[in-house]
Amino acid sequence: MENLYPNLDWNWGMFGEKLTVSGLNEKDIYIGDIFKIGSTLVQITQPREPCFKFGIKFGTQEVLTQFINHGFPGTYVRVLKEGYVKAGDTLNLVTKAKDSISISDFFDLLYKKEKNQNHIKLIMDNNALPKRKRDKLKSFLK
């Protein structure tokens, strides 16, 4: 995206992220996975979704579609145990979520016209996913 927006000041945190972690892929991270970083315990809750403020920062709302089409949204986490995190800390998987889907698959549920019914059914009882998201997806069940 840097080549599309060369006039922006590209730096860490410009997308609103609080942590930047290398070596992870949204296809391998599942809603409900629990990770330890530093002395903190976090749980994967949902992918990030672009909003109009993102478009304002980039000077065009077209960036929202570009972000969605890129397919690597990053993720939100819930803090399960407060602690300290510092640069260089490793993110270690503590508990792999059961009966879940990847961040990538969930992102597809949000933005693709055809909704994978099996994925919706699988995620309906996952309490790591905010209730409002589960309720919205329920309306797509056939």
DSSP state string for 57-122: HHT-THHHHHHHHH----EEEEEEE-----TTPPEEEEEPPSS--BHHHHHHHHH-SS--HHHHHH
CATH number of domain containing 111: 2.40.33.20
Question: 88: exposed, middle or buried (C-beta count within 10 Å: 0-12, 13-18, 19+)?
Answer: exposed
Q: Which domain holds residue 56?
A: 34-138
The answer to whether residue 11 sits within a structural domain is no
Q: How far apart are CA 142 and CA 121, in angstroms?
A: 10
Look at the chain and report how many structural domains it folds into. 1
The answer to whether residue 3 sits within a structural domain is no
Q: How far apart are CA 123 and CA 52, in angstroms?
A: 27
Q: What per-residue confidence (pLDDT) applies to 4?
A: 72
Q: What per-residue confidence (pLDDT) applies to 15?
A: 67
The answer to whether residue 27 sits within a structural domain is no
The answer to whether residue 61 sits within a structural domain is yes
Q: What per-residue confidence (pLDDT) applies to 73?
A: 81
**Taken in order 83, 17, 129, 88, is the CA torsion positive or negative?**
negative
The answer to whether residue 79 sits within a structural domain is yes
The answer to whether residue 23 sits within a structural domain is no
**SS3 state of residue 130:** coil
Q: What is the pLDDT of residues 4-50, one digit of tens each?
A: 766 767 676 666 677 778 888 899 999 999 999 999 999 999 998 87
The answer to whether residue 83 sits within a structural domain is yes
Q: What is the pLDDT of residues 64-76, one digit of tens each?
A: 777 777 777 889 8
The answer to whether residue 22 sits within a structural domain is no
What pTM value is reported for the model?
0.84
Q: What per-residue confidence (pLDDT) applies to 91?
A: 92
Q: What per-residue confidence (pLDDT) applies to 14?
A: 64
Read off φ and ψ for residue 41, nearest 5 degrees. -115, 125
